[in-house]
Amino acid sequence: MLFRLCSLIGACLLVGCGEPACESTPDVCDFAVFQKATPVTAQEAVQAIGRFQDPIVRTAAVNHWLRLNPKSTIEDGNLLCSLLTGTEVGNCQRRVSAAHLRR
Amino acid sequence: MSLAALLLAACAYVPTFGTAEPAIPACAPYAANVELLSSCINREIVNVLDIRAVSAICSTLPTEAEKECRRQWVWSASMSPQWEGVDLLKVCVGEDECEFMVLESRVPDSYPEAVARCDYWVKTFAEDCVRHAVNRLVSTYPDDATLKEAAAQPHGELLAGLIPSYLICQKRTTCPDLGAMTSVCTDSLNQLLSDSNAHCTMEPPDENGNSTGADQGFAPGTHAPPGPQGPPELGGPPAPAMP
């Protein structure tokens, strides 16, 4: 067990394989970076999120930014919401513009 | 064991969020990151048509993500007349914002009924809920008797403070008789009249006298309109004690 643990740590240090999903789904890997270094302005966020091809990652990134910026303007919020599709758009717009959720 | 085999064995290790498979198998590729998993489940949950399954799936997520999951499903389902309000409320499990969404999508014709529902269901946001009910009421261009009756309901003071904006549109300079709430209306109206920037923000009625754009309090047009027969009633026992 100890041997396996050591080999696992050692191997990961060597090849950086702690995030194996990176190979098959690069957006998943890039999302981890996005989480750690979230863009400050809405415009920067839109640019960064726009690069995600995977709609699930894109939605997660939008939600992540909105969670970190609850006092963003309605315009900025709607800018982020416009990156979404389907019923997610309406739910997002309500979240960023409804007066009772902005207090 | 060779070094290569060790590397392979170590790299086969995939850290995951939680120990079980995601409630929706299609979300397995995102299981290692709770925000991604939540995003995936929120996207997929709208396709689930069994209320118990919705609750079971959403409850596999951490608290805040679970709430969002339930809200996402309710938001989507509320656009379909196939769902009764009571069914949607079951999925909300007492979360005020979720219940607010349901009430907004299943509005009763009666103002007193709307106010009773706001107080019963949407406790935290009851005043916001009533505010929307007032907006809907004034968008029907009610007569003075209807306004007086509405002012006698709970939150009459809130209504009396809001309707001067409507009276401005009617080019009225005095409040109707609102019983005990008349003075609240008068104070608010006088304040508005003394503001040179005050102007009517309601859209004019259409040729049938109906409002063309009642303010529902959030982005219009984002919540789909009800079906041809209108939204189903919330149903259940007498107001406000809906099941």
Here the ipTM equals 0.77
- Mean pLDDT in residue range A4-29: 52
The encoded tokens of residue B62 equal 């951490």
Q: Hey, what amino acid is at A95?
A: R
Reduced DSSP (H G I as helix, E B as strand, rest coil) percent helix, strand, coil of chain A, to 5: 70, 0, 30
Q: How far is residue B138's CA from residue B211's CA, in Å, rounded to a whole number?
A: 9
Nearest C-alpha neighbor of B105 from the set A87, A82, A83, A78: A87
With a pLDDT cut of 70, the percent of chain A lying above it is 77
Instruction: Work out the minimum CA distance from A45 to partner chain B, whole angstroms.
Output: 17
Q: What is the pLDDT of residue A16?
A: 41
- Mean pLDDT in residue range A33-45: 91
A88 vs B33: CB contact, 8 Å cut-off? no
Q: What is the pLDDT of residue A91?
A: 87
Q: What is the pLDDT of residue A87?
A: 81
pLDDT digit string, tens, across residues B36-54: 999 999 999 999 999 999 9
Instruction: Work out the minimum CA distance from B144 to partner chain A, whole angstroms.
Output: 29
Q: Concatenate the DSSP letters of all residues of B32-56 into one string.
A: TSHHHHHHHHHHHHTT---HHHHHH
Q: Could you tell me the pLDDT band of residue A2, with boundaries at 50, 70 and 90?
A: very low
Q: What is the pLDDT of residue B206?
A: 57
Evaluate if residue A3 carries a pLDDT over 90. Answer: no
**Alpha-carbon distance values, A24 to A27, A96, B40, B124, B131 (Å):** 9, 33, 17, 44, 50
pLDDT digit string, tens, across residues B177-207: 999 999 999 999 999 999 878 788 776 655 5
A71 near B CB under 8 A: no
Q: What is the pLDDT of residue B183?
A: 97
Q: What is the pLDDT of residue B241?
A: 41
Minimal Cβ distance to A11: which of B7, B40, B68: B7
Q: Hey, what amino acid is at B6?
A: L
Q: What is the pLDDT of residue A40?
A: 87
Question: What's the full length of chain B, in residues?
Answer: 243
Evaluate if residue A69 carries a pLDDT over 80. Answer: yes
What are phi and psi for residue A41, nearest 5 degrees? Answer: -90, 160
B6 vs A90: CB contact, 8 Å cut-off? no
Exposure string over B90-105, b if 16+ CB within 10 A, otherwise e? bbbeebbbbbbbbbbb
Q: What is the pLDDT of residue B209?
A: 53
Low-confidence spans in chain B with pLDDT less than 50: 1, 3-19, 212-233, 235-243
Q: Hey, what amino acid is at B100?
A: F
Q: Are B111 and B150 a contacting pair, CB within 8 Å?
A: yes
Q: How far is residue B5's CA from residue B22's CA, in Å, rounded to a whole number?
A: 29
**Tokens 């919401």 identify what position?**
A81
Q: How far is residue B164's CA from residue B187's CA, in Å, rounded to a whole number?
A: 9
Torsion of CA B104, B105, B106, B111, to 10 degrees: 30
**Alpha-carbon distance values, B45 to B75, B86, B149 (Å):** 11, 19, 43
Evaluate if residue A33 carries a pLDDT over 80. Answer: yes
Residues from chain A that touch B79, judged by Cβ atoms under 8 A, are: 87
